């Protein structure tokens, strides 16, 4: 059985391996022992904290094979970005130049540095080991975050965003960053990505262009990737688009990958999640659900066959599934259809 649970201190070696395997562009998990251990501690504090208004909390979770005990994936939610450190994006806009006398009108796309997403919740740190990318495991790992949001809405910003990895090659070279590097920064993309991952963002404010960038002045290679996603990221983007996420003209400051957004209460999976009273029985239906308990301190999330009685407000799980959740008959649970 696969189970999503909060990360624990013992998971550090597995988290480090994921950071190494994920490659360039996975900013939220840089290969840095101090930072990774700090993230684990921050997540432990966040899950234990009483929250009424979202702040600088991080909910970092792992996907565990309960038979072997191996960690095979990870996912996370930042409760509200930009609370502690500045959170930068480029906002795509237009600059219009008109000369009625000459009969000339030009529209030029621009990129303006901004902090418009301050306070939004962020879906991040989604990674599943290649051998486990089957049987809807990736969908389960991604969708479980929406069930958590539905069960504990007060812990997350009203708007939810996700940064999609932009175009880069196998060596981590980004056409967009190559242009910025040549004209403004003087450091390569992996270095900039790493510095941001460890929280050292001062260089962004110091060296980033202070005025809007005209997109038509970028190199042709850089222009071509503005708002485009890495090929490996397309399945994740499609899943989010099916949940109601859309790009509203914001792109990453390093690789120009799109950022998508949706109001938390308008996310399809959040709207369709519901709470039930748990009933434990060997007799269930074949409904494929994602299920978790309502108590954050003992959080476990599984996918299981279950039966829902909407009139009685009951959800029936087999004893083994209830045991995996650490729950007994009569407990409150939250559930969501896996294929929503």
Residues classed as catalytic: 230
- Per the structure block, which two tokens stand in for 134? 């089957």
Look-up: residue for tokens 């539905």? 150
Question: 303 and 2 in contact (C-beta within 8 Å)?
Answer: yes
Gap between the Cα atoms of 22 and 236, Å rounded: 15
- For residue 34, the number of C-alpha atoms closer than 13 Å in the C-beta half-sphere is 3
Give 190's contacts (C-beta < 8 A, 6+ positions apart).
24, 172
User: How far is the CA of 156 from the CAs of 78, 79, 132, in angstroms?
Assistant: 8, 5, 29
Question: 48 and 297 in contact (C-beta within 8 Å)?
Answer: yes
Strands 2-6 and 301-309: antiparallel
Dihedral sign, Cα of residue 45, residue 263, residue 134, residue 232: negative
Question: 80 and 181 in contact (C-beta within 8 Å)?
Answer: no
Please name which of 17, 150, 10 lies closest in space to residue 77, comparing C-alpha atoms: 150
Give per-residue burial for 10-37: e unless 16+ CB within 10 Å, then b.
ebeebbbebbeebebbbbbbbebeebbe
């Amino acid at each position: 059985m696969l189970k999503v649970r909060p990360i624990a201190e013992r998971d550090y070696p597995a988290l480090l391996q994921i950071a190494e395997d994920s490659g360039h562009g996975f900013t939220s998990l840089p290969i840095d022992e101090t930072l990774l251990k700090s993230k684990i501690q921050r997540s432990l504090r966040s899950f234990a904290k009483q929250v009424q208004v979202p702040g600088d909390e991080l909910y970092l979770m792992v996907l565990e094979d309960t038979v072997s005990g191996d960690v095979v994936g990870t996912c996370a939610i930042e409760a509200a970005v930009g609370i502690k450190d500045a959170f930068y994006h480029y906002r795509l806009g237009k600059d219009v130049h008109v000369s009625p006398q000459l009969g000339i009108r030009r529209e030029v796309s621009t990129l303006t540095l901004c902090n418009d997403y301050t306070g939004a919740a962020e879906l991040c740190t989604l990674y599943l080991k290649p051998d486990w990318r089957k049987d809807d495991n990736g969908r389960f790992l991604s969708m479980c975050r929406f069930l958590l949001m539905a069960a504990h809405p007060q812990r997350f910003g009203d708007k939810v965003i996700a940064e999609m990895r932009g175009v880069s090659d196998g060596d981590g070279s980004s056409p967009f960053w190559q242009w910025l590097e040549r004209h403004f920064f003087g450091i390569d993309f992996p270095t900039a990505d790493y510095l941001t991952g460890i929280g050292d963002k001062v260089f962004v404010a110091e060296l980033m262009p202070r005025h809007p960038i005209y997109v038509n002045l970028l190199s042709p290679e850089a222009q071509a990737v503005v708002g485009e996603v890495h090929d490996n990221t397309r399945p994740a983007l499609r899943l989010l688009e099916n949940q109601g996420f859309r790009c509203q003209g914001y792109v990453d400051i390093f690789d120009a990958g799109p950022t998508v957004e949706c109001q938390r209460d308008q996310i399809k999976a959040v709207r369709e999640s519901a709470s039930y009273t748990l009933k434990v029985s060997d007799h269930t239906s074949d409904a494929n659900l994602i299920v978790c308990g309502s108590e954050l301190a003992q959080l476990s999330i599984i996918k299981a066959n279950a039966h829902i009685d909407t009139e009685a407000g009951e959800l029936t799980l087999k004893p083994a599934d209830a045991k995996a959740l650490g729950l007994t008959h009569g407990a409150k649970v939250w559930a969501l259809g896996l294929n929503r």
